[in-house]
């Protein structure tokens, strides 16, 4: 029997939940839903995407210690391009610009202040 999983919620290791959340909100357009450094964990969201930010104290003995890579799957090539333009204009740190890859993904890579990577992509193999 097959199980239908909900969307995954990655835990992003950061030095400070407050500092990281500020970048994700002010630069990348996420919303801080809850959390702070005292709790050690916070939830951010944008559309259907949810992620947790966790600080060093929260992760002690459990990890992950990062940095990590999170892939964000969008719905179209124009959506990849528009998000790249939006993030770039807002001052996001872009590691790799928009490109069609040989593995049939249109993608770009941004990073947060802790070195975690966000790879935004559209799978055009079925187009």
- The pLDDT of residue 1 is above 80: no
DSSP state of 68: -
Contacts of 92 (CB under 8 A, 6+ apart): 27, 28, 110
Dihedral, CA atoms, 7, 33, 115, 28, nearest 10 degrees? 90
For residues 61 and 38, the model is more confident at: 38
Number of domains in the chain: 1
How confident is the model at residue 127, as a pLDDT? Answer: 87
For residues 5 and 46, the model is more confident at: 46
Mean pLDDT of the region 73-90:
97
Residue at 4 is within a domain: no
- Looking at every residue in the chain, the average pLDDT score rounds to 95
Which domain range does residue 18 map to? 11-123
- The pLDDT of residue 30 is above 80: yes
Residue at 3 is within a domain: no
Q: What is the pTM of this model?
A: 0.93
How confident is the model at residue 13, as a pLDDT? Answer: 97
Task: Identify the CATH number of the domain in which residue 85 sits.
Answer: 3.10.180.10
């Amino acid at each position: 029997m097959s199980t239908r999983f909900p969307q995954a919620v990655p835990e992003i290791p950061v030095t400070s939940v407050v500092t990281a959340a500020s970048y994700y909100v002010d630069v990348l357009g996420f919303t801080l839903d809850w959390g702070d450094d005292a709790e050690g964990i916070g939830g951010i969201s944008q559309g259907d995407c949810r992620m947790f930010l966790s600080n060093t104290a929260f992760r002690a003995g459990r990890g992950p210690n990062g940095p990590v890579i999170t892939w964000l799957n969008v719905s179209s090539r124009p959506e990849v391009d528009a998000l790249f333009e939006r993030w770039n204009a807002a001052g996001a740190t872009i590691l790799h610009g928009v490109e069609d890859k040989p593995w049939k993904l249109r993608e770009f890579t941004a990073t947060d202040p802790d070195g975690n990577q966000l790879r935004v992509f559209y799978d055009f193999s079925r187009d």
